[in-house]
Amino acid sequence: MEELDFSQLRWVCPLEDVVSQEGDEAPFIGQDRAQKALIFGLSMGYDGYNVYVAGPEGLGKTTYVMELLRGLCKERPVPPDWCYVHNFSNSQSPIALSLPPGAGKELQQEMDNLIETLKRELPKAFESKDFEEKLHEVTERGRKEKEELMAGLASLAEEKGFSVKFSPAGVVVVPLIGGKVVPEEDILKNAYLRELVESRRKEFEPLLKEYLRKLRQVDKEIQAKVVQLREEVARFVVDHYMDDMLEKYQDLPRVREYLEAVKGDLVKGADLFLQFPAAQDNPLLLLQLERSLAKYKVNVVVDNGGLTCAPVVYETHPTYTNLFGRIGVRAELGVYVADFQQIVPGSIHRANGGYLVLKVPELFANLGVWRALKRALVHREISIQPLMDELGLPHPVTTLRPESIPLDVKVILIGERLHYHLLMALDPEFEELFKVKADFDTQVDNIPQVRRDYRRLLDRLVERDALLPLAPSGAASLLEYTCRLAQDRKKLSLQMSKVVGMLREANHWAKGLGKDQIEAEDVEKALEEKVYRANLLEERLQEDIRRNIIVVETQGREVGQCNGLSVVDLVDYSFGRPHRITARAFAGEKGIVNIEREADLSGKIFNKAVLILSGYLGHQYGRGRPLSLSATLAFEQSYSMVEGDSASAAELMALLSAIAQVALAQNLAATGSVDQRGMVQAVGGINEKIEGFFHCCRVKGLTGDQGVVFPAANLDHLQLSPYVVKAVEEGMFHLYPVSHVNEVIALLTGMEPGERDGEGKFYPDTFHALVEARLEEFRRVALEKKGEGDEKGGK
């Protein structure tokens, strides 16, 4: 087994690839697939072609989407304004008006100016001499008609033996005898007079009623003519100030229809305006009058007058009210009331005609939002209603039912891949509404062109955040850092949030030293400080290993004991930890007993890996005969859950050592997944594992013969820290890539693994021969015990 050359341990970025270059705007590298999907979905004019942007946090998905939309939005026109106005037929259902961009504010201002003008001009019109003369003419004509009727009634009454007197309280009819008024008491005492008056009354009453009807009719006609006159005057004034508005909006039928309704209501409600002069010294009356005239205002919920293209709205806090708006209420005389002026728009109103960007975690963190969003997209309309109504719960205040606004918006959801798959599986409507998935990659090929593009992107970030210029060495060091993040020397990570964080921290250290650019040592300093802030637990672990509180052997040889490696993931920091894996073997039929599993301290993948070891033993040593083996396998001083199969190679070596009674070198640690044929497969966290064992050896004392055996399939994943590379270069630490268990056996035992001869037997004095011989001994012991048991059973 050849030891790994130190030049293979770390990819070093060629400086010529990261020299600052002039060029087009920095690309979003490695996201061609996502870009094509986004452009396709956003260009489709059919329902349901909204886009789900999938990928882990930190890739710059939101930044990419927003920049792409800022370009695409220029291809779409500016959408119309939307206003809510009073519905004169049903005040509980405000009307939604669509106007050209910027016309909403104009209409609002024009209506406000109209009302202010009418407050001045209507009282003037009703105080004019012309109006007073016409009013006098109408009332005087009516008065004469009434006087003629009253005179006729008095003459008729006198003929019939009655006298008629008119007063504000009504008409009084008094009997006449001989042309003189006779007191009522005298008539009642005289039977003859009583009968005479009664007969005359019966004859006169129908005539009286007819005259009274005519008098009332005249009053009604006078009142109607006065009302008509007032309406004519009001209409003349209103028409004078509204004709230009009606002509301006003649091409907008709904707006014109609304203005006609306003005009009619203004004419009928002109009396309100006549009270303003007298109300100037009465604040309470003035307030009541202003509230009465508020119905003529215009509530502009969407004003697109300042836009030059379709809107792009990113709602960072998509609560129900933030997204869909709300209907406010106000207290009046102890009662909560609502009107169209309390309608407040949401993000979806502002994004209508353009693009709406939402993040999935925030979206689902708010009650009722997802269901309301789906309904809006399905029905292509925006309805404003309280959240309580959306949830089907009673609402304490009677609210409005505003007219729905047609919806034309492209929704872009940004979330994890897991969220996408959950929605696909659990929500039948999701696939119909979000037909396009834009999947963001987490890494990109490490090739010269990509490195040059990455450099341009880094320069752009430097300019955006006003950082120090990036020297070629600093850019190279950053790209090496991305390679470490990708855990692959042939890939560069696209976790832009981490790259930007490292760039800013390197800028901090460079400024602290008074530099005029960011160099490689500044990036390395930033990385060291980042690790120092996060690795307290790792240092405490290494201290426990140094003090033998946690026992890890890094020298000598032991039977049935091998150093394995795992990764401790603290979310913000990961590090490798060595484990002392021990095994004991003896004759029996129990097979391999996984102590971690028996203690409920192992995961499913770990348990599967132990079962695979049984398959390897059977394949390697159980040809033609059953194995008789009882063995125990344990992670010593492990008190938490163990998961994964990366310790398979070390477990197998401990087990085989226990069976063969051959000691294993403790100066080496092994990592790798093993299949049933003995092939050593790639594992994750290879850099952390190697560095973890190196730290362990360093605190216990480097001897120059220590190292790690790891899968050759992980060669491309090596991006080790400079101090490990230096130790390998100086011969103080060693790395051995392997592809098969036989190579691990040779390294850890110093013995020839062994091959089978023509008769199918292992060559003598080889490791496999010792294992097979010991297993055969176990089998004989087991058979002897079984024979003794059978004899006792027979007796």
> What residues are labeled active site?
646, 689
3-state SS class at 83: strand
Q: Dihedral angle at the C-alpha atoms of 707, 711, 717, 720, nearest 10 degrees?
A: 0
Q: Which long-range contacts (CB under 8 A, 24 or more apart) does 73-77 make?
A: 73/309, 73/310, 73/311, 73/312, 73/354, 73/355, 74/308, 74/309, 74/310, 75/309, 75/310, 76/309, 76/310, 76/353, 76/354, 77/309, 77/310, 77/353
Q: Measure the CA–CA gap between 653 and 646, rounded to whole angstroms.
A: 13
- Alpha helices for 488-603 (secondary structure H): 496-512, 520-534, 536-546, 595-598
Total count of residues recorded for the chain: 795
Burial class of residue 274 in the structure, from the number of CB atoms within 10 Å of its CB (0-12 exposed, 13-18 middle, 19+ buried): middle
Q: Which residue has the tokens 């999907």?
A: 37
Q: Which residue has the tokens 């963001």?
A: 440
Q: Measure the CA–CA gap between 150 and 176, rounded to whole angstroms.
A: 18
Q: Measure the CA–CA gap between 38 and 33, rounded to whole angstroms.
A: 9
Q: Per DSSP, what are the bridge partners of residue 407?
A: none
3-state SS class at 710: strand
Q: Per DSSP, what are the bridge partners of residue 270?
A: none
Q: What Rg do the C-alpha atoms of the chain give, in angstroms?
A: 48
Question: Which backbone phi and psi does 407 adopt, to 5 degrees?
Answer: -110, 130
Structure tokens at 753: 């693994």
Are the beta carbons of 489 and 483 closer than 8 angstroms?
yes
3-state SS class at 552: coil
Q: Measure the CA–CA gap between 355 and 613, rounded to whole angstroms.
A: 55
Question: Which backbone phi and psi does 406 adopt, to 5 degrees?
Answer: -55, 140
Are the beta carbons of 337 and 92 closer than 8 angstroms?
no
Picking from 237, 239, 297, the residue whose alpha carbon sits closest to that of residue 273 is: 237
Taking each continuous run of H as one helix and of E as one strand, the counts in the chain are 29, 30
Q: Within 13 Å of residue 441, how many CA atoms lie on the same side as its CB?
A: 16
Q: Beta-strand (E) ranges in 360-514?
A: 381-382, 405-406, 410-415, 436-439, 443-445, 491-493
Picking from 300, 343, 306, the residue whose alpha carbon sits closest to that of residue 324 is: 343
3-state SS class at 460: helix
Q: Per DSSP, what are the bridge partners of residue 410?
A: 355
Question: Which backbone phi and psi does 250 adopt, to 5 degrees?
Answer: -65, -25
- Neighbour tally for 721: CB within 10 Å: 21
Query: Residue type at 538?
Result: E
Q: Per DSSP, what are the bridge partners of residue 565?
A: 578
Are the beta carbons of 347 and 381 closer than 8 angstroms?
no
Q: Per DSSP, what are the bridge partners of residue 326?
A: 344
Question: Which backbone phi and psi does 444 adopt, to 5 degrees?
Answer: -140, 155
Query: Residue type at 625?
Result: R
Q: Which residue has the tokens 């969407």?
A: 302
Structure tokens at 96: 């939604």
Angle, alpha carbons 442-446-450 (nearest 5°): 90
Structure tokens at 703: 């001897």
Contacts of 331 (CB under 8 A, 6+ apart): 337
